[in-house]
Amino acid sequence: MFRDVWLIAGKDLRIEMRSRVGLNQIVPFAVTVLVLFAFALDTDQEALRTYAPGLFWVTVLLAALLAIGRSFAVDLADGAADRLLLSGIDPIAVFGGKAAAIAVQLVVLEVLLGAGVVLLFDVTVHRYGLLVCAGLAAAAGVATAGTLYGALVAGLGVRETLLPVLLLPVVAPVLIGATRAFQDAFGVAGAEGWAWLGLLAGFAAIYGVFGALSYGALLEEA
């Protein structure tokens, strides 16, 4: 099982590194969104610092939509999705591998955007442990939910427009929890960051289990 998870994740990550779509398109898109937020609020530096966690996570979620869509597009482009069904790989492993690859991309994105937030929004990190744990848990939550909903819409001609409509409301708890945890880590609000981290971990666990159990049926329909 773990060998197949690694096989799928390795394949997806190798494709992303090779194609450079993440580096040349998704990261610049995310940085642009962040800069636009800075332009919109730059007369009020205090507001920028206060809202930096929320702006950071909205940007991550928007960029995540592109990464998730891309993950399924490469399988659909020339019939590889059918080959995956015929390969004999357990759907749970396909789910785990795709979610892991998306999570790795999101963590890389978070690191780059985090540096951008520190530079552009003039925030200071007070709790590095909380920041790292919340970033990892949120990436896992968005990746598992995104993989599930990505498979749900994969077979539809309107998947690019339908994915945001379905996924963004679902990951709203991640936005709230990660924003509160980052507020605590940045020291901009008195939120109980570790408690919100529990919510993030719970969300990732629920969608991880739910996705693993239902992914086979979703692939059949796609």
Partner 1 sequence: MESAVRLRAAVTLLGRFPALAGVDLDIIPGEIVLFKGPNGAGKTTLLRLCAGLCSLSTGQGWVLGHDLNSERRMVRRRVALLGHRTGLYDDLTVIENVSFWAQAAGASSTDVDEAMERLSLTGRLADTRVARLSAGQRRRASIASLVVRRPELWLLDEPHAGLDQQTRDTVDTLVRGAAAAGATVVLASHELERIAVLEPRVVSVVGGVVRADDDPTDSESPDPSSEAEDDRRVS
Q: Which residues would be at the binding site for partner 1 (CB under 8 A)?
A: 4, 7, 11, 14-15, 18-19, 74, 77-80, 82-89
How many C-alpha atoms does 31 have within 13 Å on its Cβ side? Answer: 14
Beta carbon of residue 192, minimum distance to partner 1 (angstroms, whole number): 44
Between 91 and 193, name the residue whose CB sits nearer to partner 1: 91
Beta carbon of residue 23, minimum distance to partner 1 (angstroms, whole number): 13
Q: How far is CA 124 from CA 41, 68, 192, in A?
A: 18, 30, 18
Would the CA dihedral through 214, 217, 219, 222 be positive or negative? negative
Residue 35 sits at the vertex; the CA angle it makes with 140 and 13, to the nearest 5 degrees, is 35
Query: What letter does residue 158 receive in the DSSP assignment?
Result: T
Beta carbon of residue 143, minimum distance to partner 1 (angstroms, whole number): 20
Between 2 and 78, name the residue whose CB sits nearer to partner 1: 78
Beta carbon of residue 161, minimum distance to partner 1 (angstroms, whole number): 21
Beta carbon of residue 93, minimum distance to partner 1 (angstroms, whole number): 10
Q: How far apart are CA 43 and CA 65, in angstroms?
A: 30
Between 8 and 30, name the residue whose CB sits nearer to partner 1: 8
- What's the N-to-C CA distance of the chain in angstroms? 22
Between 23 and 111, name the residue whose CB sits nearer to partner 1: 23
Between 21 and 132, name the residue whose CB sits nearer to partner 1: 21
